[in-house]
Structure 1
Amino acid sequence: MYPGQQHRHYQRPPVPPPGYVQQKQYQRPMNPPPSNQMQSSVVTNHGRVQQFQYSNCTGRKKALLIGINYFGSKNQLGGCINDVRTMSRYLHDYHGYAFGDMVILTDDTRDMRRVPTKQNMLRAMQWLVKDARPNDSLFFHYSGHGGRTQDLDGDEVDGFDDVIYPVDFQVAGHIVDDQMHDIMVRPLRAGVRLTALFDSCHSGTALDLPFVYRAQDGGIKEYNIWKESKGDAMQAIMGYATGNTRLMANSVSSVFSRFKNSNSSQADRVKQQKMSPADVISFSGCKDTQTSSDSSVNGIATGAMSWAFITVMTQNPVQSYITLLQNVRVLLAQKYSQKPQLSSSHPIDVNLRFVL
């Protein structure tokens, strides 16, 4: 663990999360990527034709920014409120988002309408997508605690839903990825852009988007049950070696859930169910099985993913989807083991220019 680093979860794992720390030099794109022109494409999957449309992001711009420090709790964080305030200035200064078209929820306010309770967060998500039209650009940013829970409806190949934690989660409960997808993705029309940035633990597929991309070559990832179960297998072995029966049982249960839900027909069904004609993109701070870091940069508390995203984009605003993912990963790998993820609601050309 690095100085000033805190992991955003409620129970510290018995072993470090899987990952690596690798020193690399930050690389800027060699050539400007092509513009993301509005266009239509057709995807055929098992006889089903689904049309989707890119957004050129020239319409109305709206943003929902949520930062929760959980003041006074044993799991208090330091940088989440700073993250959304920095993000609001970045969106305004670099991409023309008006402050009047932003809703910011933080737990340092006395305005009860702006406190990130579960009710306020869900209501704000509905506001974000309400009356969205083609070429509108919507931005969702969450910085706070994240976690995982058992999947109850069978739409997760690995057997777990990703969740985020409102400030009143102990009373109202968490918010599951299924609910965020139903509110912010499902209602959107073709050509509407929603960009989501999750700076939280276990957030790899926090918006339940069906297409996840490899950073190495931009290809679409296929779920690898053996690779994804490696961490749980190691924890099961550690639990056995140390006599920690609870750890061993939980790890074995996780592996069993993955095997139960990992058949190809199940994966195809989930992909069909979660695909959208809208232009939805999500960047997350880590894999579903990893934690994201609450850190400090130049003495200022910040979430590692939020800091890296803004740093890369301000140093060079002309990025393709794939170079943005790669550069954020390279920047974080100098200090952190978390591996940011890119996912989308439909297959994207990752060499197109990323626009907001």
Structure 2
Amino acid sequence: MTEQTTQIPNLYALLIGIDYYLPGKLPDGSSYASLGGCVRDVNRVEDYLKKTQKPKQIFKLTSSNTGATEPPEAQEQLPTYENIVAKFHAITEIAQKDDQVYIHYSGHGGRAKTIYPELKSVGQPDEALVPMDIVKTNERYLRDVEIATLLKKMVNKGLVVTVVFDSCHSGGTTRGDTAIRGLEGASPKTSIA
């Protein structure tokens, strides 16, 4: 008789907490103020995952607001647009079919004029996550279409993905053809505090 072994899926996590946003104005004159509590939240999620889930690997990007002119984290640990996208790709590359991926973002969400007019109806904005270097990159948001594409690559590889967006305008950040599971029967107008 052949003995079968059951492979337990690995858990990978991407935790992004942004308290400190680079100061400055976007071309339209708007700006994103620094926040408080986002880094604390992802640190608590990290502690919980380590104690209860024993993840194979945690990727963490944070920018702490200590009152200094720069966050204390090293450049490669900052939640810049480039670093966030790179970590999505890194997890997709190393995780194997049936592995679990947990993604948690805590920071500003935003809306901007779409850069994908061919995919959206006239006047439809892009819902987005706001990297800490948004003013430096001249409005380089992580937009809903990009997020949907990054998540679709994970799902197409057979990864089991859970996403938490703790941000304004987070309801539309996964727009696209990726199926989203949520509260069954909840009205789109329902507000959950």
* Same fold flag (TM > 0.5): yes
Q: CA 1:212/1:118 → structure 2, altered by over 3 Å: closer, same or farther?
A: closer
Q: Could you say which residue in structure 2 is the equivalent of 1:134?
A: 97
Q: Could you say which residue in structure 2 is the equivalent of 1:80?
A: 38
Cα distance in 1 between the residues matched to 2:154 and 2:117: 20
TM-score w.r.t. the length of structure 2 is: 0.73
| Matched AA of 1:143 | S
Gaps of 5+ in 1: 1-56, 228-286, 288-337, 341-356
Q: Residues 125-274 of structure 1 correspond to what in structure 2 (within 5 A)? A: 125-151=88-114, 152-156=116-120, 159-172=124-137, 173-189=140-156, 191-208=158-175, 210=177, 211=179, 215=183, 218-219=184-185
Contact 1:67-1:83 within 8 A present in 2 as well: yes
Contact 2:14-2:60 within 8 A present in 1 as well: yes
Cα distance in 1 between the residues matched to 2:106 and 2:186: 26
Cα distance in 2 between the residues matched to 1:195 and 1:112: 27
Cα distance in 2 between the residues matched to 1:107 and 1:93: 24
Cα distance in 2 between the residues matched to 1:112 and 1:214: 35
Deviations 1:273-293 (A, max 9, x none): xxxxxxxxxxxxxx8xxxxxx
Q: CA 1:339/1:159 → structure 2, altered by over 3 Å: closer, same or farther?
A: farther
Instruction: Name the structure where helix makes up a greater proportion of residues.
Output: 1
Cα distance in 1 between the residues matched to 2:170 and 2:53: 25
The share of aligned pairs that are identical, in percent, is 27
2:69 is equivalent to residue 106 of structure 1: no
TM-score w.r.t. the length of structure 1 is: 0.42
| Matched AA of 1:61 | L
| Matched AA of 2:146 | Q
| Matched AA of 2:10 | R
Gaps of 5+ in 2: 1-6, 24-31, 65-71
- Report deviation, 1:178: 1.1
Contact 2:96-2:158 within 8 A present in 1 as well: yes
SS of the residue corresponding to residue 146 of structure 2 reads helix
Which is further off, 137-146 or 179-188?
179-188
Contact 1:143-1:199 within 8 A present in 2 as well: yes
| Matched AA of 1:208 | R
Q: CA 1:72/1:156 → structure 2, altered by over 3 Å: closer, same or farther?
A: closer
Q: Residues 271-290 of structure 1 correspond to what in structure 2 (within 5 A)? A: none
| Matched AA of 1:111 | A
Q: CA 1:190/1:124 → structure 2, altered by over 3 Å: closer, same or farther?
A: closer
- Report deviation, 1:202: 0.3
- Report deviation, 1:205: 2.5
SS of the residue corresponding to residue 59 of structure 1 reads coil
Deviations 1:128-169 (A, max 9, x none): 211432220011110000011233334446822210111110
Which of 39, 48, 69 is residue 19 of structure 2 equivalent to? 69
Q: Could you say which residue in structure 2 is the equivalent of 1:351?
A: none
- Report deviation, 1:185: 2.1
| Matched AA of 1:178 | V
SS of the residue corresponding to residue 180 of structure 1 reads helix
Contact 2:38-2:107 within 8 A present in 1 as well: yes
Cα distance in 1 between the residues matched to 2:61 and 2:54: 20
Q: Could you say which residue in structure 2 is the equivalent of 1:333?
A: none
Q: Could you say which residue in structure 2 is the equivalent of 1:7?
A: none
2:82 is equivalent to residue 119 of structure 1: yes
Deviations 1:328-349 (A, max 9, x none): xxxxxxxxxx437xxxxxxxxx
| Matched AA of 2:150 | I
Contact 1:103-1:124 within 8 A present in 2 as well: yes
Larger Rg: 1
Tell me how large the CA RMSD over aligned residues is.
2.9
SS of the residue corresponding to residue 105 of structure 2 reads strand
